[in-house]
DNA sequence: GGCTGACCTTCCCACTATGGGAAGGCGTAC
DNA sequence: GTACGCCTTCCCATAGTGGGAAGGTCAGCC
């Protein structure tokens, strides 16, 4: 199986397969005499694993650890769980950050007439020099 | 006022002030004979505006438009509101995406013993070849 | 044997916004 | 004059992905 077939079989683009190889996530099984990468079902399985993990937002660095644990038949599930929970915490941080932005902005937009007049609490808020970065508060 | 003072006055690093200049967001008022950038209160005000907008997650491209509207005394608030709502929608997309990841992963972790045994629904899910990408669904 | 089209290879570039750092020129206080 | 802090420009790195160029390869078809 060459890289194009592996890409179609795994749902990972050929470009990304080469990238994952370059960062040490997954090496091709072999090369043909012409230098073509050769993959087997096992590599495709790994690529799907990587794709699933990426879909859950894991960084390549985390995936490296998860792959190692996957291949380690004697792993402790506690190790996997720790990585997962760490990532959940990271996702929570990012969600909270974005939600703060969203709420502040939605609140401001809610108080903006949105007509032809120039008065606009959104612009006023951005231009307000007295802001001391009250994260999550949105006084109009 | 040189770039260091403007940085302290605005909360934007000197590095970023130069970057914003390079992408056409904000030019220095002038240069000294030695080539030092010179800023006045107006530039500092703009820098604060930019900082506020970045804090709300606006892209530099959006900020370019917001700055133009800010300086246009005859702007229609509808234009500002449109940009804001577009950004709220983008934030919602990202929040939903992250929340889907978070919920799926938290659910998996919840069903993982997290002890010394190797059995782990998290790893199993990642390695599951029959996944057809059911976004937001998490069958264990 | 030769052509064609699809595929492969490596290498470089771009993106976003930010930081680090080097090399060299100023400015000010002593 | 010298030492220290600030300024300048320029290059590099980040994370993950895509685009594309230049050139080699393979399979089918005449």
Pairing of strands B30-31, B37-38: antiparallel
3-state secondary structure A59-71: CHHHHHHHHHHHH
| B129 compared with B85, residue with greater pLDDT | B85
Q: Are residues A5 and A56 in the same domain?
A: yes
Number of H helices, E strands in chain B: 6, 2
Q: In this model, does residue A132 exceed pLDDT 60? A: no
pLDDT of B23 reads 94
pTM of the model: 0.86
Query: Is B69 in Cβ contact with A114 (below 8 Å)?
Result: no
Is the predicted pLDDT of residue A14 greater than 60, yes or no? yes
Distances (CA, A) of B54 to A92, A93, B62, B64: 20, 18, 10, 11
Q: Which of residues 82-101 of A touch B (CB under 8 A)?
A: 82, 84-85, 87-88, 91-92, 94-95, 98-99, 101
Residue B1 and residue B62 in one domain: yes
Given this model, what pLDDT does residue B134 score? 43
A139 occurs within a structural domain = no
Compute the mean pLDDT over every residue in chain B, rounded to the nearest whole number.
Answer: 91
Q: Give the domain extent around A52.
A: 1-72
Both B63 and B120 in one domain: the answer is no
Among the candidates B28, B47, B72, a domain finishes at B72
What is the DSSP secondary-structure string of A22-59? Answer: HTTS---SEE-TT--EE--HHHHHHHHHHHHHHHTT--
- Final residue belonging to a domain, choices B51, B72, B93: B72
* Residue B138 maps to a domain: no
- Determine the Cα–Cα distance for residues A27 and A41; give it in Å rounded to an integer: 13
Same domain, residue pair A1 and A52: yes
Q: A56, A57, A63, A72: which is closest to A19 by C-alpha?
A: A63
Question: Is the CB of A16 less than 7 A from some atom of nucleic acid strand D?
Answer: yes
Same structural domain for residues A108 and A124?
A: yes
Q: What is the pLDDT of residue B77?
A: 93
Task: Give yes or no for CB of B56 within 7 Å of strand C.
Answer: no
Predicted pLDDT of residue A128: 84
**Is the pLDDT reported for residue A68 higher than 60?**
yes
Question: How does DSSP classify residue B138?
Answer: -
Nearest-angstrom CA–CA distance, A44 and A108:
49
Q: Quick check: is B95 in a domain?
A: yes
> In the predicted model, is pLDDT for residue B9 greater than 90?
yes
Residues 71-130 of chain A within 7 A of strand D, judged by CB, are none
Contacts of B129 in chain A (CB under 8 A): 45, 48
Q: How far apart are CA A126 and CA B80, in angstroms?
A: 11
Length of chain A: 140
Q: What is the pLDDT of residues A71-93, one digit of tens each?
A: 999 999 999 999 999 999 999 99
Q: What is the CATH number of the domain that holds A48?
A: 1.10.1660.10
Of B72, B100, B120, which one is at a domain's C-terminal end? B72
* pLDDT, tens only, A32-61: 999 999 999 999 999 999 999 999 999 999
The answer to whether A18 CB is within 7 Å of strand D is: no
**Shortest alpha-carbon distance between residue A69 and chain B (Å):** 8
* A36 beta carbon to strand C: under 7 Å: yes
- Answer yes or no: is A138 within a domain: no
The partner residue sitting opposite A56, judged by closest CB among B45, B101, B112, is B101
Inter-chain contact A70–B127, Cβ cutoff 8 Å? yes
A49 and A102, same structural domain? no
């Amino acid at each position: 199986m060459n890289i194009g077939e592996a890409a179609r079989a795994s749902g990972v683009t050929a470009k990304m397969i080469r990238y994952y190889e370059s960062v040490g996530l997954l090496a091709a099984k072999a090369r043909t005499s012409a230098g073509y990468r050769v993959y087997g079902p096992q590599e495709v399985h790994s690529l799907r694993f990587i794709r699933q993990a990426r879909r859950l937002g894991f960084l390549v660095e985390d995936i490296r650890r998860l792959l190692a644990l996957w291949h380690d038949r004697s792993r402790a599930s506690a190790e996997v769980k720790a990585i997962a929970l760490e990532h959940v915490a990271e996702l929570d941080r990012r969600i909270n950050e974005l939600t703060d932005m969203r709420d502040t902005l939605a609140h401001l937009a809610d108080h903006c007439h949105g007509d032809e007049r120039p008065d606009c609490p959104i612009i006023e808020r951005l231009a307000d020099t007295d802001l001391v970065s009250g994260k999550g508060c949105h006084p109009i």
